[in-house]
């Protein structure tokens, strides 16, 4: 789950992380009514969408004076903002964050994330603030500092010291150096306490009056932990998300829309990713990631079919189920009943392996759906068959 920049800043501020003064507005009138609360002549208008690269797309404007503030707010509110993360369709800007102008002396990069290979939380920092960290990693990887945090001992003082000196903060004076420890610790504590899977500050800045602030903040959360964070869950902006993904989450289905033509219905995240990989290996293009979980039944399968078929690009569906916890015959009955309820016209390839797989095959055979529902034995052959059907119908 993602939230907006202004919401993320509100969270990290609770952990002692300094952020610029600002306010949120949904109309130009609201922007101008609250402009005096910031003081100063320079203000920044920042589009609030769930995507990076807003500045490059024209969604961040520095405004000197009230006339410029009104002009920039008028341009940004309501625009269809296109960035490298939105795709060519872009996202409509409905909310802006207005912040005080800052005297920026240096821009830096800092993030906290999970390193699955090391099974630990990792802190990343770089002197190349304001740039995409992927570009820095590709062209100047030596400029990325990395601290692996022990899951037993947590973030230690020597690690924040090493990051501070590695970023060259000592050259800005003892006041800045002292703030760095609280800044890094605050962000680490926010990451852990809020069950984040990413917390990125890009850029963190040093100001002319020797302050360290989070000029931008991006947070995303572990969806499986949201039951512990109901106030955070209420920050979710469903208008920023794909409607099919929102509907799927309401049915406890893990669904992500993609750009391909083969709809996927799989149980287990690992098998779902492997299914997309093998479809691509055979020259096909998956239309989605969909994990129905280990408790697939008729209702879940019906909802999954309905969500997949909302995508007009889907011309074939691959069902790839390994019946371990749930029996294959239960899944087969669910598929047959769901097929009839949804009144599917799209061809479906199904592969079932595991407990009662033979009985499941007989259920599919006796369903009377032989022209639309094809049972295939084997992971590879099922994927290959789905690609053949999809290619033929393209």
CATH number for the domain harbouring residue 26: 3.30.1490.20
**Same-domain status, 272 and 316:** yes
Catalytic residue (choose from 109, 128, 188, 194): 109
Domain count across the chain = 3
Cα–Cα dist 366/361, whole Å: 9
CB 46 within 8 A of CB 5: yes
Of the candidates 322, 321, 324, 334, which has an alpha carbon nearest to the alpha carbon of residue 364?
334
**209 annotated ligand binder:** no
288 is in an annotated binding site: no
- 311 and 235 share one domain: no
Q: What SS3 string covers the chain?
A: CECCHHHHHHHHHCCCCCCCCEEEECCHHHHHHCHHHCCCCEEEEEECCCCCCCCCCCCEEEEECHHHHHHHHHHHCCCEECCCCCCCCCEECCCEEEEECCCEEEEEEEEEEEECCCCEEEEEEECCCCCCHHHHHHHCHHHEEEEEEECCCECCHHHHHHHHHHCCHHHHCHHHHHHHHHHHHHHHHHHHHCCEEEEEEEEEEEECCCCEEECCCEEEECHHHHHHCHHHHCCCCHHHCCHHHHHHHHCCCEEEECCCCEEEEECCHHHHHHHHHHHHHCCCCECEEEECCCCCCHHHHHHHHHHHCCCCCCCEEEEEEEECCCCHHHHHHHHHHHHHHHCCCCCEEEEEEECCHHHHHHHHHCCCCCCCEEECCCHHHHHHHHHHHHHHHC
Residue 10 assigned as binding residue:
no
CA distance 84 to 100: 27
Cis ω for the linkage preceding 203 (within 30 of 0): yes
| CA gap 183, 172 in Å, rounded | 15
Tell whether residue 133 is among the known ligand binding residues.
Answer: no
pTM of the complete model: 0.76
Contact 126, 111 (CB under 8 A): no
Would you say 202 is a known binding-site residue? Answer: yes
Last residue of a domain, one of 64, 80, 101: 101
Q: What CATH number should be reported for the domain holding residue 124?
A: 3.30.470.20
According to the model, what pLDDT value does residue 242 have? 67
CA torsion sign, 219 to 225 to 230 to 236? Answer: positive
Active site residue 6: no
Query: Do 251 and 352 lie in a common domain?
Result: yes
According to the annotation, is 324 in a ligand binding site?
yes
Measured in degrees and rounded to the nearest 5, phi and psi for residue 90 equal: 70, 180
Contact residues for 371 (Cβ-Cβ < 8 A; gap 6+): none
Structure tokens that stand for 104 in this block: 């920026």
Q: How many angstroms separate the CA atoms of 375 and 352, rounded?
A: 8
Select from 101, 135, 160 the last residue of a domain. 101
Residue 222 labelled as part of a binding site: no
How do strand 373-375 and strand 348-354 relate by DSSP bridges?
Answer: parallel
247 and 236 co-located in one domain: no
pLDDT at site 366: 86
91 and 182 part of one domain: no
Range(s) of the domain holding residue 93: 21-101
CB atoms within 10 A of CB 358: 10
Q: Examine the fold and report which residue of 38, 66, 101 is the final residue of a domain before the chain moves on.
A: 101
345 carries a ligand binding annotation: no
Residues 186 and 292 in one domain: no
The dihedrals phi and psi of 167, each to the nearest 5 degrees, come to -85, -5
Statement to judge: residues 374 and 309 lie in one domain = yes
15 is catalytic: no
Residues 6 or more apart whose Cβ sits within 8 Å of residue 243: none
**Are 252 and 382 within one domain?**
yes
The answer to whether the CB of 45 falls within 8 A of the CB of 98 is yes
Write down the catalytic residue from 128, 147, 200, 240.
200
pLDDT tens, N- to C-terminus, the chain (394 residues): 789 999 999 999 999 999 999 999 999 999 999 999 998 899 999 999 988 888 888 999 999 999 999 999 999 999 999 888 777 888 899 999 999 999 999 999 999 999 988 899 999 999 998 778 888 888 888 899 999 999 999 999 999 999 999 999 999 999 999 999 999 999 999 999 999 999 999 999 999 999 999 999 999 999 888 889 989 888 887 666 667 777 777 777 888 889 899 999 998 888 899 999 999 999 999 999 988 876 666 788 888 888 998 889 999 999 998 877 677 888 888 888 888 887 778 899 999 888 888 888 888 888 887 677 888 888 999 999 999 999 987 6
Residue 4 shares a structural domain with residue 150 = yes
- Whether residues 283 and 353 share a domain: the answer is yes
Q: 150 — phi, psi (to 5°)?
A: -65, 130
Question: Is 102 labelled a binding residue?
Answer: yes
Is 53 assigned a ligand-binding role in the annotation? yes
Q: Are strands 348-354 and 316-323 parallel, antiparallel or unpaired?
A: parallel
Give the pLDDT score at 12: 97
Q: What is the pLDDT of residue 240?
A: 66
5 in a labelled binding site = no
Query: Is there a single domain that holds both residue 145 and residue 278?
Result: no
């Amino acid at each position: 789950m993602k939230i907006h920049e202004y919401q993320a800043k509100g969270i990290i501020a609770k952990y002692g992380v300094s952020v610029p003064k600002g306010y949120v507005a949904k109309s130009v009138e609201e922007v101008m009514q609250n402009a005096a609360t910031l003081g100063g002549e320079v203000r920044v208008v920042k589009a609030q969408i769930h995507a990076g690269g807003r500045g490059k797309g024209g969604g961040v404007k520095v405004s000197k004076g009230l006339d410029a503030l009104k002009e920039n707010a008028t341009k940004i509110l309501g625009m269809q903002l296109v960035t490298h993360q939105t795709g060519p369709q872009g996202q409509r800007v409905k909310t802006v964050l207005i912040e005080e102008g800052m005297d920026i002396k240096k821009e830096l990069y800092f993030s906290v994330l999970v390193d699955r290979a090391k099974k630990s939380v990792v802190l990343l920092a770089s002197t190349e603030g304001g740039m995409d960290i992927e570009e820095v990693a590709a062209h100047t990887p030596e400029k990325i500092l990395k601290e692996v945090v022990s899951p037993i001992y947590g973030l230690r003082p020597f690690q924040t010291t090493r990051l501070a000196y590695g970023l060259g903060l000592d050259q800005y004076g003892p006041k800045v150096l002292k703030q760095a420890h609280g800044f890094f610790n605050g962000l680490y504590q926010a990451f852990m306490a809020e069950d984040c899977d990413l917390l990125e500050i890009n850029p963190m800045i040093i100001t002319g009056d020797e302050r360290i602030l989070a000029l931008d903040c991006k947070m995303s959360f572990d969806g499986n932990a949201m039951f512990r964070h109901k106030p955070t869950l209420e920050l979710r902006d469903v208008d920023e998300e794909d409607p099919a993904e929102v509907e799927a989450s309401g049915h406890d289905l893990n669904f992500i829309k993609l750009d391909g033509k083969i709809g996927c219905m799989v149980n287990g995240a690992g098998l779902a990713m492997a299914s997309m990989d093998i479809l691509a290996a055979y020259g096909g293009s998956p239309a989605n990631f969909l994990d129905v979980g280990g408790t697939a039944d008729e209702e879940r399968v019906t909802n999954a079919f309905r969500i997949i078929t909302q995508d007009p690009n889907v011309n074939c569906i691959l069902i790839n189920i390994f019946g371990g916890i749930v029996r294959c015959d239960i899944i087969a009955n669910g598929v047959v009943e769901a097929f009839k309820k949804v009144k599917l016209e799209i061809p479906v390839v199904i592969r079932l392996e595991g407990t009662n797989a033979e009985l499941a095959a007989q259920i599919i055979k006796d369903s009377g759906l032989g022209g639309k529902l094809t049972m295939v034995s084997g992971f590879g052959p099922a994927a290959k068959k789905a690609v053949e059907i999809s290619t033929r119908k393209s």
